[in-house]
Amino acid sequence: MEPKIAKKGPYVMDMKPGKYYWCSCGHTETQPFCDGSHERLGAGMTPVETEIKNPKTVAWCGCRRTAKPPFCDGAHNKL
C-alpha cells in the first residue's frame, strides 16, 4: 500500500522535548502524528519514532514521500 498524501507540504510546528511518533501511512486524524490508523487499515506501515531533545521548529513531512522520514526534504515539490 502506498502512503496517503495528507498534505503537499510540511507541517511546521514548534516542538517541545519529548518522543513523537510520525504517521508513515498518512491516514491519521492527528496529522502528522500516529493515531493507530495503520493498524485498522492493515497498511503494513508503522510510525517513525523520533526524539526531540531541545525545543525547536520542525518541518514534519506531510506528503509521505521524503527520503528523510519523518522530516520534510522538499519531495512534495515533485508531486
| Nearest alpha-carbon partner for 27 in 38, 17, 13 | 38
Q: Supply 58's cell numbers.
A: 520542525
Question: How does pLDDT run across 15-73, given as a tens digit for each residue?
Answer: 999 999 999 999 999 999 999 999 988 868 999 999 999 999 999 999 999 999 999 99
Report domain extents, the chain.
Answer: 11-78
Query: Rounded CA gap, 59 and 53, in Å?
Result: 15
pTM of the model: 0.93
Q: Report the pLDDT value the prediction gives residue 72, as an integer from 0 to 100.
A: 98
CA dihedral of residues 33, 39, 40, 43 (deg, nearest 10): 90
User: For residue 8, is pLDDT > 80?
Assistant: yes
Q: Report the pLDDT value the prediction gives residue 43, as an integer from 0 to 100.
A: 67
Does 32 sit behind a cis peptide bond, omega within 30 degrees of 0 on the bond before it? yes
